[in-house]
């Protein structure tokens, strides 16, 4: 378990690394997940959860293309 204790959005590089390092990502509305941060190959991450209302900050199609729910 890792927590972003700084309460600041993760950089694109940190978010991309998270897909390789963690089984799940719990994003907040300030954590942007556009298609560019999703890995091109296999990812360890299998699920993205959202803490907040809405999910417009998550590229759902990019997640679906990589079999991430």
Residues listed for the chain: 69
Residue 24's beta-bridge partner residues? Answer: 47
- Residue 64: the pLDDT is 96
6 lies in a domain?
no
18 lies in a domain?
yes
List the pLDDT tens digit at each of the 69 positions of the chain.
777 878 788 899 999 999 999 999 999 888 999 999 999 888 899 999 999 899 999 999 999 999 999
- Residue 45: the pLDDT is 96
7 lies in a domain?
no
* Owning domain of residue 31: 12-65
**Residue 43, Cβ density class (10 Å: 0-12 exposed, 13-18 middle, ≥19 buried):** buried
Q: Structurally, how many domains does the chain consist of?
A: 1
47 lies in a domain?
yes
36 lies in a domain?
yes
Distances (CA, A) of 12 to 19, 43, 67: 11, 15, 20
Q: Which residues contact 60 (CB under 8 A, 6 or more apart)?
A: none
Rounded CA separation 64/4 (Å): 25
């Amino acid at each position: 378990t890792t927590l972003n204790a700084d309460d600041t959005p993760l950089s694109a590089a940190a978010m991309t690394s998270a897909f390789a390092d963690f089984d799940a990502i719990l994003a907040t509305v300030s954590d942007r997940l556009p298609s560019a941060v999703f890995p091109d190959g296999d990812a360890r991450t299998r699920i993205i959860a959202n803490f907040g209302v809405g999910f417009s900050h998550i590229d759902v199609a990019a997640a679906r293309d990589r079999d991430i729910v």
